[in-house]
Amino acid sequence: MSDVQRNLWRGVVAGAVGGLAASWVMNQFIAGPGKELQAAVETNGVKQKDDQNQQRDGEPKEDATMKAADAVVNVATGGGHLSKEEKKQAGPVVHYAFGAVMGGVYGGLAEYSSGVTSGFGTTFGSMLFGGADVLAVPLLGLSPLPSKDDSVKLVSPFAAHVVYGVTTEFVRRIVRAIL
């Protein structure tokens, strides 16, 4: 922040824009290179027992964002739930909203501490993976706690969060320079 005067709200906005863009890039990574990475790290080319994207009936598996959207509706309506189709639509909204909020927090903190941006966002992405995916999501009952046997299944999600962190930092710097 040498040439730019510190400003919390500009930092939050820049980070939120970065987090929103990074959420999209993260989705693209998961759909393409992330799948290839996952296939490469699986033992002997054999898929893990629990495929990350499909249930036995061929329907997409209900992920943590879909469960979170349903939980929000349940609390807001005093007991209501979303249909399968509504969960499919609401899941991405939760993903992008969370990505923007976390990017905003990151951008706000980056205004006051250069250490926050260490590793050009890789530290942020790694910490977000550990704090959100590994700890918070299971503790909220949105997924099971990962076990030692899950380490291979976590390679691609971890890499996706590193991609999210780098993209958030890249976009944040550009937006912050404009603001």
pLDDT surpassing 60 at residue 58: no
Per-residue pLDDT reduced to its tens digit, 107-130 = 999 999 999 999 999 999 999 999
Torsion angle of alpha carbons 16, 17, 20, 24, nearest 10°? -150
pLDDT of the residue at 150: 80
Encoded amino acid at 160, one letter: A
| Annotated domain spans of the chain | 13-42+49-178
Contact 126, 165 (CB under 8 A): yes
Report d(CA 6, CA 107) in Å as an integer: 11
pLDDT greater than 60 at residue 51? no
46 vs 177: which has the higher pLDDT: 177
- pLDDT over 60 at 50, yes or no: no
CB neighbour list of residue 153: distance below 8 Å, 6 or more residues apart: 38, 48, 50, 52, 146
Question: Is there a contact between 168 and 15 (Cβ–Cβ < 8 Å)?
Answer: yes
Q: Residue 173 — φ and ψ, nearest 5°? A: -60, -40
